[in-house]
Amino acid sequence: MLIVGENIHIIAPKVKRMIAERDEKALQELARAQVEAGAGILDLNIGPQRRTGPEVMSWVVETVQSAVDVPLSLDTTNLGAIEAGLKLARHKALINSTSAEPERLETVPPLAAKYNAGLIALTMGKGGIPISAEERVAIAIEQLVPRAMEVGIPMEDLYLDPLVLTVAGCQEYCPHAVEAVRYIKQGMDPAPMTIAGLSNVSNHVPAEGRSLLNRVYLVMLMAAGIDSVIADPLDRELMETVRIVEERDESTGAGHALLVLYDATMAMEELEPSQIDLDDPAQSDIWKTVQVLMNKIIFTESYLRA
């Protein structure tokens, strides 16, 4: 499982300050911490930066690359900033992102092809994000994949994003993102890569509930065949979840419940309460979280306290 570290994101006040003040030391410490925790790529989200995009991206890329030796994901809508970063990248970079919106589909894929970069492609078009998995996959098959092939991007460099949305307000979307990954990985030949913004599922959720939602949803995505997630590698429980699933160790408690969930999702079956110990609070929390993410019960901020 490839973890793309999400923490260099301008929406975070501390990162916004680092960039505004050109605080190299703080930015480098954040980059190192993510790589040491297991991130294989670092996402550099600088926002639109309409006027100063190329200069800001250049500074961020050079600062991060002087501290760590991993590939970078260049995350901005400013094409000039993306190109500035691509010119400086030491490793094969990833562009985050394009979509099937006409302007983005026209301009971004050729830039990825020009610099031999990977490309994240969001399964949404001019009409926004479809609810169903089938509609999202149709956008991928009919628009995103043909455009990538047209400009010469190989399937192993195309990362389709099924668009994870928050359970707080968009709960009905959660199962469809998982199924979209399954359809892409099982139904396309050759199959593109898949990636998802994992932490989106817990946006606008109280801090104490976010990690559990992220971990449970990650297991469901892994069972569907996801190749990569943009996530917080500093969440130790999240990284331990990745290890448990990949190593299939004989975990007890929550680890056992997560493996049972993985097997059930892979087999396209529902997790049954008889398969786990509901008297164990950790396993019970996972059970309730699955029901929320599968849109079986309505999400509330107090769902774990019920």
Local structure of residue 234 (DSSP, 8 states): T
Q: Long-range pairs for 233-237 at CB < 8 Å and ≥24 separation?
A: 233/3, 233/5, 233/7, 233/34, 233/37, 233/38, 233/39, 234/7, 234/33, 234/34, 234/37, 235/211, 236/37, 237/211
pLDDT, mean over the chain = 96
Count Cβ neighbours within 10 Å for each residue of 266-300 and write b for 16 or more, e otherwise: eeeeebeeebbbeebebbbbbbbbbbbbbeeeebe
Q: Looking at the domain covering 2-235, what would its CATH class be?
A: alpha beta
Structure tokens at 77: 């809508």
pTM: 0.97
Each domain of the chain, given as residue ranges in start order, spans 2-235
Q: How far is CA 177 from CA 69, 120, 163, 207, in A?
A: 32, 15, 6, 23
How do residues 219-247 score in pLDDT, each as one tens digit? Answer: 999 999 999 999 999 999 999 999 999 99
Strand partners, 196: 229
Structure tokens at 297: 């019960």
The residue with greater pLDDT, 254 or 249, is 254
Task: Give me the helix-helix angle, 53-65 and 24-37, nearest 10°.
Answer: 60
How do residues 75-131 score in pLDDT, each as one tens digit? Answer: 999 999 999 999 999 999 999 999 999 999 999 999 999 999 999 999 999 999 999
